[in-house]
Structure 1
Amino acid sequence: MDDSLSSTIMAVDERLTHATVTWLDPSAALGGGHAGAADSGDGRTPRDGTATDDEDAYLVAAMASAALAAAEARAGFGDGMSLNDRKVTVDGAATEAAEKILGRAPFRIRVAAGEGERDDSPGAHTGQWLGLPDEGSPVIDGVFDYVDGTELAATDQPGALALGGFGSGVRPVPDLQAYAALAPTHALRGLDIMARPEDGVVPLLERIAAAVGKSPDELTVSTHSLASKPMHRTLIDLMRGRVRQVLVPERVTVEPPYLLSLAGLSEPRIDSMIGAIGLSELAFAAGLVDLVAPELGFVFRLASVTGPRAEPGLTSLDALFKFSEDEEVALRAGGWRKDRQYTSEDLVRPGTSRAATLFAVTDNPALGLRGPEPRGGDVAHVEGFLVKPAARIGSIRLSYRR
């Protein structure tokens, strides 16, 4: 166990009664993680550009607090409350809880990617500043999704997570989407993501298969849920006819469990991820891959939020590339272009991710995490992971007095 980090986390939030950080053996197989990976350094100064104990503690405490607040928000739902109002309530509670802690951080945090700005919903917003207001203090880039899978949290279904990451090379993104594919970094520049997705997915799969040393029919690919919109249906059908397995989330797409299969924390292990993803989620995903599998990365093109909303019945991804005037303005303001493709390097500089955390808002069977709930007396428990460079992963369990 890491007693130093545990003590630092405890000092951040006075509600905590116990904190356990157990580093997992990175060589252990799925389900057989073993404690005892040695910690290095004194925890107070950066090690090869990774986060300090103080940074880790604030990130962990903030996102765990968000998970607990989101879970407890359900107790305040009234009869007849609409799903949208429930989602806003959950997001609002998580945002308030996380930013109460991040706002006290003894360093400056520039939010480079966050959720909710376009819909004026609670959440972290790109360009927001948190932490120490002293302009002379070191600046850390933050990527936050205080509740990824808000609908799951609002309806008490498995899979919702509170996500946060720190880095030093994250390019700020507007609250839009991307069409993206995960592949080995050496192959990214040779992939064509600009073709119409349904026309280009077969050659895309062939190139990815060649890059990972497999045939297309040996690939396992994760993609987007059909439950929110049917626009992925044709793409999924095309992939199913070419690869061994397409992993389609049942309700809402939450990407980190699939990506953590690369570190042995879930199964099956994916070879690629192909489909639409929010830009903030992609920023977190790119940072997470930089930590656990830097030999992989994303190739992507920018995509619209309003286009699919205007044509919800489409069974193709065509509407992804129909941008509104407001979206065009947001792209230009950030120096992004809709007529070119990008890679992870354009979003997160390689080797600059410092830490990532994820905590269960509801039960997460894929990662073996329980959502917050009272388990005896007035104590609530929150479970999650802290991910550091070189796939160094700590299992976190925090206990809160209610």
Structure 2
Amino acid sequence: MTISSEALEMAAKVEAFVREKIFPYEQDPRRDHHGAPTDELVMEMRELARAAGVLTPHIRPDGSHFNQRETAVILIKSGLTPLGMLACNTQAPDEGNMYLIGHVGSPELKDRFLKPLVEGRARSAFFMTEPAELNGAGADPSMMLTTCRKDGNHWVVNGKKCFITGAEGAKVGIVMAKSEDPDSKGGACMFLVDLPDPAIQITGVPNTIDSSMPGSHAEITIDNLRIPADQMLGDAGEGFKYAQIRLSPARLSHCMRWLGGCMRAQEIATDYANRRTAFGKTLIDHEGVGFMLAENMIDIKQCELMIDWCAGVLDTGSLGTVESSMTKVAVSEALMRIADKCVQVMGGLGVTDKTIVETMFREVRAFRIYDGPTEVHKWSLAKKLRRDWKAAQ
């Protein structure tokens, strides 16, 4: 499947906008105490994106999505700075939540909950991960302890969640809970809720190594949250299936955005290495430096190829769980190498906040964990190898 000229034109438009209008915001002091951009800053940038015609660029005005290969060329450009994805409304968790609601939600739910997200007027949160001390759902959603039970024409949800990205300040929530209803056979349910809600309490917002996402990663207590039955997303008991519908493309979208950021870090490090002189010649002419940047070139190209391959699989209608796991591992580890080398090339300057290079190092380090740590994906792939081996005997 080829990438349309429409998508390529949008990607070029996004890149021009991000470079011209958003790069200057990188030193803007409007940050919360976790270091994330404030909602005031985000909304200011989104008005610029709206005026430039690049707000939510991966979704057409008629509500249809570009395919995954086309989305990749657009999201990579929006990720050239962490602020770019916020300005263009392609950031996590909203991009993944828009994808899920668009694929599973009823027309009524789309109008009520999806529309304000697509318009960039609201942020959202996905309530799945649970505290490790409770042995709740993390990389393994089947361990979910948060419960929901039917009560008339409502469902009542109780439980604890953690690392809920963007919960603080979000207007739309997708709550995932394990059903106690016999008809659901112990499956999970997903619900759309308006936020804030007094039954969903933020009990803490820890400081984390990454700082690009407004609202950070909150700890949550859900106490007798009553949700009308018509706000269930899809069917009762099918939540784990819907999680896979969301998670495979979401993992890939993360790869797209952070690849854009590492491409930018490579630009900055390469520029520095060509300007800085030491020991009688420019840094890039020292093999120890030039080879690091050359290795980054190779890793960047390999990331592009992996993303394009996985996107092509998803475009066939496959869930792509194996392909997205392989891509998430390969790309996140490669991006870590790229970011680390960029810091090393720039020396002291590379660990300061004067460029986004140190930001990308922190963000990519976190990426190796969220949406499934590298080791969990490798374990899943090893299980497949064993299944395939047994089937071949």
**TM-score relative to the length of structure 2:** 0.32
- Which fold has the larger relative contact order, with Cα–Cα distance below 8 Å and residues 6 or more apart in sequence? 1
**Which of 1 and 2 has greater Rg?**
2
Bigger share in helix: 2
Higher relative strand content:
1
